Structure 1
Amino acid sequence: MPQKIYPRSKDRETIYLKNVISNPNIIVGDYTIYNDFVKEPREFEKNNVLYQYPINQDKLIIGKFCSIACGAKFIFNSANHSLSSLSTYPFPIFFEEWNLDVKDIKNAWDNKGDIVIGNDVWVGYEAVILAGVTIGDGAVIGARAVVTKNIPPYTIVGGVPAKPIRKRFSQETIDFLLKIKWWNWSEEHIRQHITEIQLGNIEYLR
């Protein structure tokens, strides 16, 4: 994995995301890119990962070779309000005002878990992915989709809330791709087979 930030010499809108991350609760795989033509792409942690407060220890895990479009947002558990309470007002956050115990602050929201993005996933323009969601390898998230539930591998989804549109390939091909996991190949092996990957020459890869 190159240590440089910018994959293209004259492009300052596209970055290797892994190389700008400092938050230990954001884990990004090799070669995953983020593009932003509106804001500074190196400020991904600030602008795109929302409500990921340290007290909750929830994680954003993104696999290898993902493509994340401008304005995509990952919204974490602290954005939630408790629905099991008789009120959605987040009293525990204002523990000083209401003389509550600070250790109970996480009772203010429903904790749905981490966000896990597989490998070779394309997250479209201004898509929103909510806490607790797992997106399978090879999936495609349409522009401005709001993902509230898990997405199976190699499934294209869109809409609000996001719903499956179609599978990218036959189930036989999907099973084969999940078996070979090309994203885990060595850099040299990938270079040798880029043409076949790009052209969809599945028989050659077999």
Structure 2
Amino acid sequence: MKGPDKNRLYPREEIKTLCYIRNLPKKPNVEIGEYTYYSDNKESPENFYSHIHHHYEFLGDKLIIGKFCGIAEGITFIMNGANHRMDGITTYPFNIFGGGWEKVTPTIEQLPFKGDTVIGNDVWIGQNVTIMPGVKIGDGAIIAANSTVVKNVEPYTIYGGNPAQFIKKRFDKEKVQFLQNLQWWNWDEEKIFDHLELLTSENGLEQLITSWSLSS
């Protein structure tokens, strides 16, 4: 065996607090990569979709999450359906209450639309994080607990706070470029298994860089 079965909802049956969310029933406009998990100690992790708010199929915006991401409990994805029209005197959504007010129902073109929300590969999202519409989070990034992410996050950086701000880079520019070219998350299961020690050790990146340069 070269690792857990990626097609199981619960990779370990004795642990019901985390699951591979790609194996939940499919939801329109949500794409999730292999081995990405959601962990929740308060409710079943199978309720992951309930943390995606204001996601209406007719708007067409997608939530895209890459492979090998770790998402902690309390995550909230705010999608474009939460937006109010902002070009008038008031932002109050009269139309949703009916009673004749629906005469000012805005068109999709009149509403702010931030596009798809995209989470890269190997992203770690801490507890109680809120991610706003259209945010792009790069590969290998870390989002600190209790953060609200309102703007794009560069690959292999750490962000935190409300609104989330840059804290530091995880690696220098050359190492980040190497990792983005490496894309270890796209390796087959056997290759990942054979390189686990390098992928998880303090000096693993330097060893990988050295071995790749020697083989090139």
* TM-score of the two chains, using structure 1 as the length reference: 0.92
Matches within 5 A, 1:4-15: 4-15=8-19
Which moves more between the two structures, 90-99 or 71-80? 90-99
Compared CA separation, residues 179 and 96, structure 1 to 2 (3 A): farther
Compared CA separation, residues 87 and 108, structure 1 to 2 (3 A): farther
Distance 1:99 1:9 in 2: 50
- Aligned pair count reads 204
Distance 1:135 1:118 in 2: 6
Which residue matches 1:42?
46
Distance 1:34 1:173 in 2: 28
Residue identity opposite 1:19 in structure 2: N
Q: Among residues 111, 118, 123, which one is paired with 1:116 in the alignment?
A: 118
Q: Is 2:148–2:163's contact at 8 Å kept on the other side of the alignment?
A: yes
Compared CA separation, residues 21 and 74, structure 1 to 2 (3 A): farther
Question: Does residue 174 of the first structure (1) align with residue 151 of the second (2)?
Answer: no
Residue identity opposite 1:65 in structure 2: F
Which residue matches 1:138?
140
* TM-score of the two chains, using structure 2 as the length reference: 0.88
Distance 2:161 2:25 in 1: 29
1:40-89 CA distances to partner (integer Å, 9 max, x unpaired)?
Answer: 2101112x101101221211000000000011110011112122222101
Q: Among residues 50, 71, 76, which one is paired with 1:73 in the alignment?
A: 76
Distance 2:177 2:25 in 1: 32
Q: CA deviation at 1:22?
A: 1.8
Q: Is 2:159–2:167's contact at 8 Å kept on the other side of the alignment?
A: yes
Unpaired segments of 5 or more residues in structure 2?
Answer: none
Q: CA deviation at 1:99?
A: 4.8
Q: Secondary structure at the match of 1:173?
A: helix
Which residue matches 1:57?
60
Which residue matches 1:98?
101
Q: CA deviation at 1:108?
A: 6.8
Q: Is 2:94–2:102's contact at 8 Å kept on the other side of the alignment?
A: no
1:76-112 CA distances to partner (integer Å, 9 max, x unpaired)?
Answer: 111121222221012343466335386x453674211
Q: CA deviation at 1:184?
A: 0.5
Distance 1:121 1:170 in 2: 17
Q: Among residues 18, 22, 25, which one is paired with 2:26 in the alignment?
A: 22
Distance 2:192 2:143 in 1: 24
Unpaired segments of 5 or more residues in structure 1?
Answer: none
Which residue matches 1:155?
157
